[in-house]
Amino acid sequence: MDYQKVLNQIQQEFADIHPSGKVASYIPELAKVPSDKFGMHLYDLEGNNYNFGDSNERFSIQSISKVFTLALAMKVVGDDLWNRVGVEPSGDPFNSLSQLENDSGIPRNPYINAGALVVADVLVSYFTNPKAALLAFLHEITGDSSIDFDTTVAASEQAEGYRNYAMVNYLKSFGNIENDVEKVLDFYFHQCSIAMSCRELAQAFIIFANHGTVLDSDREFLTGRQVKRINALMQTCGFYDEAGEFSFEVGLPGKSGVGGGIVAVNPYHYAVAVWSPPLNPKGNSALGMAALERLTTLTGFSIF
Ligand code: DON
């Protein structure tokens, strides 16, 4: 398939469109990112790269990092993880606290903030240096050891992250956080601050399109069963209370972040990342969603 032709068409179609929505400002550092950034990168299983726009510029991956931490936690603790976090869509915003009361501190899924904080706690318990372990995992699957935290972004979120402070304390009151809350939050704010480009994200996510294996390598990072589960959760929970809409419009498993990035996977075919900072009211990139809708419509090819 000539994906470059399709990407060129998408770039052209959206060239004069100013996306509706607002750049995230509750993390002050993110508000400084220019709203007109727009890039897309598709990496296929033959190893071909297709892209346009600001696809090589790094941005804050935010909640996209939850897919990497989930993968790492599944690898190290196995099925015990599911005693502490569920696998059902929440139908609520990413930062909602309300369901935790009725669910006795068991988050609905690992992609809402509550679930990702429990996953962060699992990694903080397991690794002596969880931040180094997360970076090492990313460096291994991408082959790029320059991927790093943006400590300015992490500090900016830490200074204003009242909801996540509330969340982790609330989880701890139910006994679902083992470590000191400051330690868990420090790890979580750092994982969210990781800076990657669309190219790097597409290359990192290719393992979710390729049975858990990096292209051109026999090294299995995740089993087929683990990848099935990670992708299933992206499909049903990757966009919070907009997961249905993303499935309906795009038809691929994917994950968004409030930095304006979205990564999606077409299993056995490709991983694709798009970046446009203005967010819709559900906290997902407005233009990113529209661009991915055009990708699966123009190619006539989604998982459905
Ligand atoms: O915890 C937060 O609120 C942010 N660090 C991440 C949220 C996020 O990216 C939600 N995604 N669309």
pLDDT tens figures, 22-66 = 999 999 999 999 999 999 999 999 999 999 999 999 999 999 999
CA within 13 Å, CB half, 139: 11
**pLDDT above 90 coverage of the chain, percent:** 96
Distance 47 CA to ligand 1 centre (A): 30
Q: Quote the mean pLDDT of the chain.
A: 97
Model confidence band, residue 235 (pLDDT cutoffs 50, 70, 90): very high
Candidate of 25, 67, 258 to mutate for ligand 1, largest count of ligand atoms within 8 Å of Cβ: 258
Backbone angles phi, psi at 273, to 5 degrees: -125, 145
Dihedral (Cα; 88, 163, 183, 207), 10-degree rounding: 40
**CA dist., res. 209 & res. 68, Å (int):** 14
What is residue 17's predicted lDDT score, i.e. its pLDDT?
A: 84
In which order are the strands placed within the sheet that holds 39-44?
Answer: 49-53, 39-44, 270-275, 261-266, 254-256
Ligand 1 atom at minimum distance from 284 CA: 12
Q: What is the mean pLDDT of residues 166-171?
A: 98
Per-residue pLDDT for 183 more than 90?
yes
Q: What is the mean pLDDT of residues 116-124?
A: 98
Ligand 1 atom at minimum distance from 163 CA: 3
In 3D space, the residue among 294, 258, 264, 293 whose CA is nearest the CA of residue 276 turns out to be 258
In 3D space, the residue among 103, 148, 138 whose CA is nearest the CA of residue 221 turns out to be 138
Q: Whose CA is nearest to atom 7 of ligand 1?
A: 63
> At residue 60, what is the residue type?
S
Distance 62 CA to ligand 1 centre (A): 5
> At residue 28, what is the residue type?
P
CA within 13 Å, CB half, 148: 5
Start-to-end CA span in the chain (Å): 18
Burial label for 204, CB within 10 Å (0-12, 13-18, 19+), is: buried
Alpha helical stretches, state H, 127-257: 130-142, 151-160, 162-173, 181-193, 198-209, 224-237, 243-249
Per-residue pLDDT for 239 more than 90?
yes
What is residue 176's predicted lDDT score, i.e. its pLDDT?
A: 98
Q: What is the mean pLDDT of residues 276-287?
A: 97
SS3 assignment, position 52: strand
Q: Whose CA is nearest to atom 1 of ligand 1?
A: 113
What is residue 18's predicted lDDT score, i.e. its pLDDT?
A: 82
pLDDT tens figures, 28-38 = 999 999 999 99
SS3 assignment, position 89: coil
**CA dist., res. 190 & res. 187, Å (int):** 5
Bridge partners, residue 39, by sequence: 53, 275
Distance 123 CA to ligand 1 centre (A): 18
pTM of the complete model beyond 0.75: yes
Model confidence band, residue 218 (pLDDT cutoffs 50, 70, 90): confident
Per-residue pLDDT for 163 more than 90?
yes
What is residue 20's predicted lDDT score, i.e. its pLDDT?
A: 85
What is residue 180's predicted lDDT score, i.e. its pLDDT?
A: 98
What is residue 76's predicted lDDT score, i.e. its pLDDT?
A: 95
Model confidence band, residue 227 (pLDDT cutoffs 50, 70, 90): very high
What is residue 82's predicted lDDT score, i.e. its pLDDT?
A: 98
Q: What is the mean pLDDT of residues 233-243?
A: 97
Ligand 1 neighbours (beta carbon < 6 A): 62-63, 94-95, 113, 157, 164, 192, 256-258, 283-284
Distance 269 CA to ligand 1 centre (A): 28
